[in-house]
Amino acid sequence: MVKRFPEHKNFNLADINNEILEIWKAEDIFKKSLEIRQGHTPFIFYEGPPSANGIPGIHHVMARTIKDIFCRYKTMQEYLVERKAG
């Protein structure tokens, strides 16, 4: 059998994530992403408290994930998306 793609035996996504996160922290990338969009059309996504009516559950995680997806998408479209939970 011929292998068409190389196998990465030491491929560790957690390590890669930590390296990228350190770069983002060192260069304050998130703050810069907001600064370069000042004056652009704002996108506002309203949400309620994460657990107003009971113990937090998996549905709260799912709702926050969906919110994050929409906010990231709108940021990529050059909207000014300021994040504030609650």
> 5 pLDDT band (50/70/90 cuts)?
confident
Q: Answer whether 0.95 is exceeded by the pTM.
A: no
Distances (CA, A) of 69 to 28, 55, 64, 75, 76: 21, 24, 9, 10, 11
pLDDT value, residue 85: 66
Is the confidence at residue 42, as pLDDT, over 90?
A: yes
Q: How do residues 52-84 score in pLDDT, each as one tens digit?
A: 667 778 887 888 888 889 999 999 999 999 887
Which residue, 50, 38, 48, is CA-closest to 82? 38
pLDDT value, residue 27: 96
Which residue, 8, 33, 29, is CA-closest to 20? 29
